[in-house]
Structure formats: structure tokens, C-alpha cells
């Protein structure tokens, strides 16, 4: 049964539920009160025949997303009714009850202690140590608001301690033993506040610090600082630790010092917690017995995560000394905590230990030689904070081992795919297929795409967007892939031989950059990079904005007057509906090493006032135009260099789909990170300041040095930039003009 707190219910509305007449000195029920605006549940009793109600039980507020058990013992001997009275606290205050029971005898209101757990390891191997064991109030759990008898601190746990290993240690062989072992759970172990040289005190505390608890309860993750629990006993127990409270009245720069009793031993070990956006500094000093001079042994500043970190300090002090923990407040969010301070009679191991090797990864290839790896981690045991394991040169706490695998020759090693701009072809040598069913051999996704036999090879060819070929994109390549399954002939009923699947893959570079110091060669650009496939990209010049037919090779040089429009078209050929293209950056220059540079397109946006982008017939085409111009200096040739990117036309979030983007503040240099440099051109374009189109190029050249006009041979260059590692050095390649 529950009370619905949403509209039309409103704050303060009441709902009452009356039981039939019943009897018995104990009432038991379960309740559920979960909601940010939770109201109040009251339980009344009313004697048979009476109208007076007596309040027996009351509870308000959110009690968590769980069914809680309640028990009411009373002294009513006759018949009575039970009234459940619910008050609405707000829209989010549904109240529910279930399993209402009365009993003929008084109910046990306390829980029962469970069995004792195992004893912990002894803190010493001889000369007497301490070990603990714990039991919990869960057999059975108590009703809501109660605990077990003897649970004075209400933590639902009971810990028992005893001495152990009390036999004397052998004189000839003394194992390492802690000379100072303080977890702050029982007392301060002789630690004292420095009352003369600091501004604040270290505080003994358990559970979450006040700052941390406030941030969690008010759902302000950025305001969290300090630990949730101590290091010794962990999250679900009430162990203690020492910490510096950084909130008001503490101020930035305030200092708190905690001084240990005298101790000895060449190793100091402790755990620290430094979590908070304004974290300050923790320093650890030592001070020789009878001296006032302090020696800095360890220092750390800043946020170190919401975790207890282990610290180890090995020093060369042979006499008795004190340890001083010195904390500097960094701001309101800089609670610093320490726990489990221990000194040892011998130097501590500062490095961690390597764990077991993990399993080998799958081999990168099934034949022809591949690589597989396995990894182990520096966690057995973990090292102290700031240290790692021996041999961990890069400090990533991991060690990876590599080996070769599947070194047997591949049966299809003679069958590398041929990748062109239009198709992918796989030729399988017939002599390799002696035990393969070759009839009906086809590309796996489409049985109609069958192989043909040319006398020596079974040839499978598919268009890049046919026969089920898949196309994917990564940061560097456009990738086309398809599979062919080879089924072996078998004489018997069963076989233990694996059939083989050949995966044909063609990769095409997505991005190249314009740049060349060679003279332009008219025509399209086709390139092959490291045996990968080819993409054809053209840049053509058109006479009009209708883009009906580009200028052909015999029509060059093309004559243009100043301010005449030049119409350019960039196109990925053969991929109109699948690939898209964008000119990211274009600039005009008088030559490869020239200091004259004039930006035309930046981040896909027009930089020149006359440059316009026009609508394109498909995603694989980009059209733009600009007015013919000249450099102020006397320069005869203008080069236009562009950085181009190829994208998946179906990807609405690709760089090509974004078009003009002003969000990239850092312009990559056109000359950087290129592996190969290619040239494509449309030109030369002869531009004059005169208006007589009949003038010949020779006549125009006569006035190059005069004031009447200047001739500029404008060549439009395109090269495609492939992003590569910074360690790759540029190389240059001049392509032969196919025309």
C-alpha cells in the first residue's frame, strides 16, 4: 500500500489507513520512504470501541531506496486497531508499507551478533604482537533505528583484540619489526600537536571529513576534499585517521604540525590522502633526539586523487629521532590526511613487484608472420607513491613482451589485391587452389559476383561500391574491404582442417597538401602511396559558372583580364555519391620558396573578398571562383596551393560536411607532416590589364615592365597531404602527365 504524492496531492495532505481489530503486544511492518521531499509516517493505536488514538511510532525524511523493518512493542492487552497516518511532504514523497503483522509476544528489538571472523595476521612474528577479529550485527539484522546489544558506537560491528607471537625473538636473527606502528584507531600513539610553531591542529576523525560529507550530500562533486574513510579498516568500518580541516576559520598559508614520539629505524612508512581542487603541501621532517633542527625528508603538493597513497622514506639516521608532519593549507578545498605511520628496523623496498604475465593477445596475422603481446603490471606489491618497478623505464606501471607468431607461409601470399580508383581485384593462383572448391568461387556477400578463370588465376573483380564491398573511414584512410571464402574438398564425413577466408583490403589516403617547386603539368592527379590504392582528384578551370565543360589542354594558356572571374572545380572522380571533398586551406604565391603569400581559403572559409563558393552536383565535387588578380610586385607566375581532405559523404559530422569552420584557431602549416608531394595544375592562365581580347600573348609580354599592364601566368596547383608521424621526412615526386 502506498500514498501517491503527485498532483492533485499537495504538501500537507494526509492519508490514513485503518486495520481491522487485532491483538498482541508486538506490531511489525516494513516501510519504504524514498524521495527528496519525503514527509512523515506515523503509527497510532486505538482501543476497541474508543475514538482516542495513541501515537506509537513516527519517522520523517528520506530513508533510502530500500524496505526497512520496524518493530513496535506496546502494553495494550485488549483488542485494538492500527492506524497508518501519512503526511505529504511534496511532489516527491511517496510513502509505502507492506507485511503488517502482530504477534502474541514481545518482539526482539535488537539484532543478533554473527559469528566471529578470522583473526588478522599478527603484527609481529615474535616478542608479542596484536591481532584482531570482527563480528557484525547481522544475525538477524535489527529493526530500523536499533542495533545489537553492546554496539556502543552504532557501527554494527564488534572488534576483539588479543596478543600473539609472544615468544622471544632469536638473538642471532632479529626480523624487521615496527618501532612505531600507529593507525590512530585507539589513541594518538604519543603524537602531539606543535602548539608553538603552527596555526592549526591536526584532527582525529573517522568516516568522511565535514567538507567531503557536505559536498556529497549537496551533490557538488567539484567541492569534495578529504577522505571518506580511514586506510586501516576501509570504507565500511569506523577506523580513525589524522587530518587538517581546511575550511573556515583556516586560511590559505596556515600551517599545522604533528610531532611523533621518539622512534628509530632507517625506514619511515605512512599513507597520505591529498584530494581537493585547492590542495596545498605536505612535508615530512625528521628531528634528532634533543635537537631543534629539522631536516626535510619528503615533500608533495597538489591534488593526488581520491585514494590513500603509500609513501616510503629511507634515510641514514642511526639514532633516535622524531617525525614531524607539516601541512600547508592551499585553500578552502585542501583537507590533508595521514594514517598508518610505521618505522622499520631495516631499509624498505622502494620499488614495486611485477605481477604474473597476462595471456598472449591474438596474433596480428593468421600466416606469414605476425606479432602478439602479453603484459604484466607493477602491482605485486604496488610501489610506494612516486616509485615504480625495476625496468619500468617509461613509468606506466606496465611491462609488455612481444613475440612473432603464425610464421608459416600464407597460401594466399601471391594474391595481394590490386587497388584502383574504380575497382578492387583479387587474383588467386590456380596452383594454390588444388584442394579448394573453385566452382562458383565468389565474393562472399554477393554470390552473383563470381570469379573468372584466365588459365592461370581465378580473378575476382568488384567496383568499390559493389558486391557487398564495405567502406570505412579512419583518421588516415578510406578503407574498402571484401571477403572470399575458400572451401576445401574433403573425402570423408568429417574434417579437422580449417577453411580459409581471404580478406581483400584497399586503403586510400584521405588528405594531402598542395606544394611543389616544379613547373605545373596539366591534368589530373593519380597517386599510389606505399602500395595502397589510388584515388583520382582533379582541379579544372571552366570558362563560365555553368561548369558545362572545362578548358582542355590545347586551349592553354587561357587568357583572362584583371577582375575576370576564374571558375574552379575540385572533384574526387569515380566516388561522387560515396566520398566528399573540401579545400581546407588555399593560398597564392609566386613560387615554392617565395616570400609572397596571399591567403584565398582558410579553414574552408573564403579569405579573398572576391572568392565565392557555388553549389555542387554531388558531395565529391566542390566549386568556387574568384576574380583574376596580380601581385603588386612584378611577378610573372602565380601558384595556388591547397590542402584538401577526403571524407565519407554519409558522415554528417565529417570535416567536409562542416564546410567553413571558424573554430580551429591553429592553422596547420601547408608544408608540415607530408610524406610525398604531388603536383596537379590548371594553367597557365594569362591575365592582362588591357581590354582587347584579340591581343596576342607576345604583345602582352612586351609591356611587362611598363605601367600599362602586367602579364601573370596563374597556375592552379593541387597536392594531397597525408598526415604522418613527425619523424617522417618530406620527399618530392614529379608525376608524369597522362595527357
Average pLDDT, rounded, for the chain: 79
Q: 506-518 pLDDT, tens per residue? A: 888 776 543 322 2
Alpha-carbon gap, residue 157 to 226, rounded angstroms: 24
End-to-end CA distance of the chain: 87
> Residue 253 has which C-alpha cell?
598559508
Alpha carbon separation from 269 to 202, 311, 319, 536 (Å, rounded): 19, 6, 18, 67
Residue 679's pLDDT is what?
Answer: 39
Given this model, what pLDDT does residue 513 score? Answer: 42
pLDDT band at 315 (very low <50, low <70, confident <90, very high): very high
- Model pLDDT for residues 162-193, shown as the tens digit of each residue: 999 999 988 754 444 468 999 999 999 999 99
Q: Would you state the pLDDT for residue 664?
A: 46
Percent of the chain surpassing pLDDT 70: 80
The residues, any chain, with a CB within 8 Å of residue 181's CB and separated by 6 or more, are: 123, 189, 341, 342
CA–CA distance, 504 with 5 (Å, rounded to integer): 63
User: In the predicted model, is pLDDT for residue 606 greater than 70?
Assistant: yes
**pLDDT at residue 381, as a whole number:** 83
* Per-residue model confidence (pLDDT) at position 554: 74
pLDDT digits (tens, 9 = 90+) for 251-306: 999 999 999 999 999 999 999 999 999 999 999 999 998 899 999 999 999 999 99
> What is the rounded distance in angstroms from the CA atom of residue 363 to the CA atom of residue 372?
5
pLDDT digits (tens, 9 = 90+) for 462-485: 988 899 988 888 777 888 888 888
* Confidence (pLDDT) at 711: 26
What percent of the chain is predicted at pLDDT more than 90?
40
Confidence at 147, pLDDT banded by 50, 70, 90: confident
pLDDT tens per residue across span 634-643: 555 667 777 8
Rounded-to-integer distance, Cα 91 and Cα 39, Å: 10
Contact yes or no for 312/341 (Cβ under 8 A): no
Instruction: Report the pLDDT value the prediction gives residue 634, as an integer from 0 to 100.
Output: 58
In the structure, what pLDDT confidence band is assigned to residue 579 with cuts at 50, 70 and 90?
Answer: confident
**Domains, the chain, with CATH or none:** 2-103 (2.60.120.200), 180-344 (2.60.120.200), 418-509 (2.60.40.3210), 511-732 (2.60.40.4100)
| Cis check: omega of the bond before 557, within 30 degrees of 0 | yes
For residue 225, pLDDT beyond 90: yes
pLDDT at residue 202 tops 90: yes
411, 432 Cβ separation under 8 angstroms: yes
pLDDT the model gives residue 98: 96
In sequence order, the β-bridge partners of residue 255 are 328
pLDDT tens-digit readout, 61-106: 999 999 988 999 999 999 999 999 999 999 999 999 999 999 999 8
CB 141 within 8 A of CB 110: no
Mean predicted confidence (pLDDT) in 128-142: 90
Least confident of 239-243, 388-392, 552-556: 552-556
Asked if pLDDT for residue 435 goes beyond 80, the answer is no
Top pLDDT among 19 and 434 is at: 19
Q: pLDDT band at residue 672, thresholds of 50, 70 and 90?
A: very low
The pLDDT tens digits of the residues spanning 321-374 come to 999 999 999 999 999 999 999 999 888 888 888 999 999 998 877 776 788 999
Please choose, from the candidates 425, 489, 479, 435, the residue with its C-alpha nearest in 3D space to the C-alpha of residue 457.
425
Amino acid at each position: 500500500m502506498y500514498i501517491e504524492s503527485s498532483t492533485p496531492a499537495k504538501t500537507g495532505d494526509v492519508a490514513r489507513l485503518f486495520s481491522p481489530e487485532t491483538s498482541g503486544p508486538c506490531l511489525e511492518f516494513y516501510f519504504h520512504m524514498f524521495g527528496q521531499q519525503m514527509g512523515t509516517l506515523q503509527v497510532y493505536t486505538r482501543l476497541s470501541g474508543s475514538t482516542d488514538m495513541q501515537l506509537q511510532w513516527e519517522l520523517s525524511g528520506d530513508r533510502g531506496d530500500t524496505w526497512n523493518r520496524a518493530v513496535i512493542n506496546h502494553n495494550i492487552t485488549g483488542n485494538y486497531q492500527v492506524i497508518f497516518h501519512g503526511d505529504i511532504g511534496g511532489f516527491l514523497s511517496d510513502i509505502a508499507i507492506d507485511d503488517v503483522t502482530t504477534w502474541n509476544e514481545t518482539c526482539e528489538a535488537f539484532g543478533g551478533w554473527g559469528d566471529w571472523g578470522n583473526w588478522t595476521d599478527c603484527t609481529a612474528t615474535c616478542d608479542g604482537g596484536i591481532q584482531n577479529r570482527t563480528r557484525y550485527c547481522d544475525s538477524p539484522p535489527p529493526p530500523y533505528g536499533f542495533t545489537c546489544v553492546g554496539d556502543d558506537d552504532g557501527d554494527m560491528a564488534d572488534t576483539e583484540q588479543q596478543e600473539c607471537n609472544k615468544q622471544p625473538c632469536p638473538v642471532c636473527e632479529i626480523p624487521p619489526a615496527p618501532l612505531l606502528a600507529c593507525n590512530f584507531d585507539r589513541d594518538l600513539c604519543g603524537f602531539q600537536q606543535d602548539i608553538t610553531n603552527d596555526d592549526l591542529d591536526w584532527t582525529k576523525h573517522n568516516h568522511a571529513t565535514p567538507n567531503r560529507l557536505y559536498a556529497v550530500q549537496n551533490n557538488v562533486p567539484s567541492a569534495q576534499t578529504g577522505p571518506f574513510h580511514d586506510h586501516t579498516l576501509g570504507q565500511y568500518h569506523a577506523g580513525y585517521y589524522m587530518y587538517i580541516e581546511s575550511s573556515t576559520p583556516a586560511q590559505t598559508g596556515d600551517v599545522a604540525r604533528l610531532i611523533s614520539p621518539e622512534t628509530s629505524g632507517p625506514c619511515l612508512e605512512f599513507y597520505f590522502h591529498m584530494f581537493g581542487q585547492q590542495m596545498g603541501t605536505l612535508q615530512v621532517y625528521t628531528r634528532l633526539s634533543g635537537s631543534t633542527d629539522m631536516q626535510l625528508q619528503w615533500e608533495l603538493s597538489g591534488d593526488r586523487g581520491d585514494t590513500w597513497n603509500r609513501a616510503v622514506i629511507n634515510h641514514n639516521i642511526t639514532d633516535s629521532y622524531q617525525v614531524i608532519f607539516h601541512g600547508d593549507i592551499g585553500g578552502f578545498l585542501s583537507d590533508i590526511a595521514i594514517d598508518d605511520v610505521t618505522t622499520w628496523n631495516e631499509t624498505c623496498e622502494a620499488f614495486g613487484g611485477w605481477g604474473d604475465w597476462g595471456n598472449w593477445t591474438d596474433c596480428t596475422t593468421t600466416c606469414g608472420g605476425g606479432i602478439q603481446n602479453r603484459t604484466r603490471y607493477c602491482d605485486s606489491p604496488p610501489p610506494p607513491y612516486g616509485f615504480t618497478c625495476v625496468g619500468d623505464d617509461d613509468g606506466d606501471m606496465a611491462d609488455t613482451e612481444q613475440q612473432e607468431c603464425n610464421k608459416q607461409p600464407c597460401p594466399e601470399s601471391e594474391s595481394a589485391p590490386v587497388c584502383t580508383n574504380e575497382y578492387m581485384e583479387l587474383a588467386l593462383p590456380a596452383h594454390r587452389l588444388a584442394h579448394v572448391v573453385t566452382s562458383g568461387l565468389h565474393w562472399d556477400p554477393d554470390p552473383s559476383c563470381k570469379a573468372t578463370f584466365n588459365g592461370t588465376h581465378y580473378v575476382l573483380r568488384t567496383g568499390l561500391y559493389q558486391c557487398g564491398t564495405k567502406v570505412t573511414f579512419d583518421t588516415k584512410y578510406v578503407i574498402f574491404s571484401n571477403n572470399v571464402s575458400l572451401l576445401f574438398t574433403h573425402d570423408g564425413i568429417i574434417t579437422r582442417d580449417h577453411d580459409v577466408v581471404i580478406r581483400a583490403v584497399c586503403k586510400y589516403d584521405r588528405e594531402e597538401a598542395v606544394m611543389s617547386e616544379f613547373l605545373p603539368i596539366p591534368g589530373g592527379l593519380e597517386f599510389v602511396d606505399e602500395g595502397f590504392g589510388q584515388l583520382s582528384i582533379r582541379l579544372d578551370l571552366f570558362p563560365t559558372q555553368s561548369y558545362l565543360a572545362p578548358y582542355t589542354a590545347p586551349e592553354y594558356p587561357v587568357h583572362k583580364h584583371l577582375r575576370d572571374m576564374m571558375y574552379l572545380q575540385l572533384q574526387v572522380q569515380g566516388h561522387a555519391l560515396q566520398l566528399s571533398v573540401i579545400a581546407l586551406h588555399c593560398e597564392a604565391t609566386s613560387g615554392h620558396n617565395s616570400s609572397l603569400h596571399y591567403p584565398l581559403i582558410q579553414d574552408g572559409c573564403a579569405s579573398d573578398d572576391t572568392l565565392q563558393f557555388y553549389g555542387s552536383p554531388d558531395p565529391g565535387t566542390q566549386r568556387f571562383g574568384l576574380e583574376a588578380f596580380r601581385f603588386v610586385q612584378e611577378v610573372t607566375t602565380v601558384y595556388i596551393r591547397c590542402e584538401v581532405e577526403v571524407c565519407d559523404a554519409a558522415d554528417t559530422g565529417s570535416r567536409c560536411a562542416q564546410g567553413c569552420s571558424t573554430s580551429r584557431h591553429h592553422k596547420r602549416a601547408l608544408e608540415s607532416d607530408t610524406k610525398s608531394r604531388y603536383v596537379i595544375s590548371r594553367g597557365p592562365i594569362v591575365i592582362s590589364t588591357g581590354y582587347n581580347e584579340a591581343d596576342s600573348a607576345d604583345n602582352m609580354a612586351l609591356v611587362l615592365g611598363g605601367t600599362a599592364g602586367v602579364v601573370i601566368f596563374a597556375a592552379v596547383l593541387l597536392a594531397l597531404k597525408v598526415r604522418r608521424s613527425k619523424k617522417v621526412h618530406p620527399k618530392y615526386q614529379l608525376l608524369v602527365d597522362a595527357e
